[in-house]
């Protein structure tokens, strides 16, 4: 039977965040943001194993306590997200049929419900799929002068989130050229092979912490979830 394995690339520095400590190690309720991300994946009964890929130069991981069950950590991050994922995938030695759920370290507010929805919806899919949200705002294209150059029709536009869930064999084939500039997520690599990944309803709370102001929002979401538990 095929297993489900989560792969978390966490070897980026988060340059847009603008702090000396990478954003995945910023503290939220006294624990690194990354620990909250890993909790959700490790607590999911449908996931057999969680592989965390960090940078060989990482100076922060050993300073903290981490979930023990299911978690493996490898210092094999590359110089792009796609390279970090490709390195993790090679180290996993998964069967071709195993499902791999790639999840951004900085999406620390993924809910157990959204994760389960992805797993259930994609379970019998021939290609695999990802959490995503239909674009709700009007989309503008901007010029270098900081003015609107066009309004882009939003019909049919979705914002890709993670996890992105694909069979290990197909994902390895798709990531054979991880340096390709068009690969900003795993789905785009699968699309380059001619496949159409399934879009599964994500949620606004599953945003990627990117800017310093995002931390307070993530902290509020996690606190509200604890209060309602």
Binding site for ligand C5P (CB under 6 A): 9-12, 14, 24, 53, 77-81, 84, 104-106, 208
Least Å distance between CB 14 and ligand C5P?
Answer: 6
Least Å distance between CB 78 and ligand C5P?
Answer: 6
Closest residue by beta carbon to ligand C5P? 12
Partners of 73 in the beta sheet?
52
Least Å distance between CB 24 and ligand C5P?
Answer: 6
**Residue with Cβ nearer ligand C5P (26 or 84):** 84
**Residue with Cβ nearer ligand C5P (2 or 91):** 91
Least Å distance between CB 126 and ligand C5P?
Answer: 27
**Residue with Cβ nearer ligand C5P (11 or 170):** 11
**Residue with Cβ nearer ligand C5P (57 or 138):** 57
Cα distance between residue 102 and residue 9, in whole Å: 8
**Residue with Cβ nearer ligand C5P (58 or 191):** 58
Least Å distance between CB 6 and ligand C5P?
Answer: 12
């Amino acid at each position: 039977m095929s297993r489900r394995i989560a792969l978390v690339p966490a070897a980026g520095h988060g340059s847009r965040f603008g702090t000396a400590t990478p954003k995945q190690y910023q503290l939220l309720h006294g624990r690194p943001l990354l620990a909250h991300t890993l909790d959700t994946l490790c607590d999911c009964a449908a996931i057999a194993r969680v592989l965390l890929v960090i940078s060989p130069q990482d100076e922060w991981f050993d300073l903290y306590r981490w979930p023990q069950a299911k978690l493996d950590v490898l210092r094999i991050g590359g110089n792009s997200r796609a390279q970090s994922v490709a390195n993790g995938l090679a180290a996993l030695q998964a069967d071709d049929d195993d499902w791999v759920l790639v999840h951004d370290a900085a999406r620390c507010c993924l809910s157990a419900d959204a994760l389960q929805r992805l797993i259930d919806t994609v379970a019998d899919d021939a290609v695999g799929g990802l959490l995503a949200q239909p674009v709700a705002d009007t989309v503008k294209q901007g010029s270098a002068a900081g003015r609107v150059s066009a309004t882009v029709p939003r019909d049919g536009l979705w914002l890709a989130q993670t996890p992105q869930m694909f069979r290990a064999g197909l994902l390895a084939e798709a990531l054979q050229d991880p340096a390709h500039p068009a690969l900003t997520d795993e789905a785009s690599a699968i699309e380059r092979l001619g496949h159409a990944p399934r879009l599964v309803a994500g949620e606004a709370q599953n945003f990627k912490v990117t800017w310093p102001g995002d931390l307070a929002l993530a902290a509020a979401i996690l606190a509200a979830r604890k209060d309602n538990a």
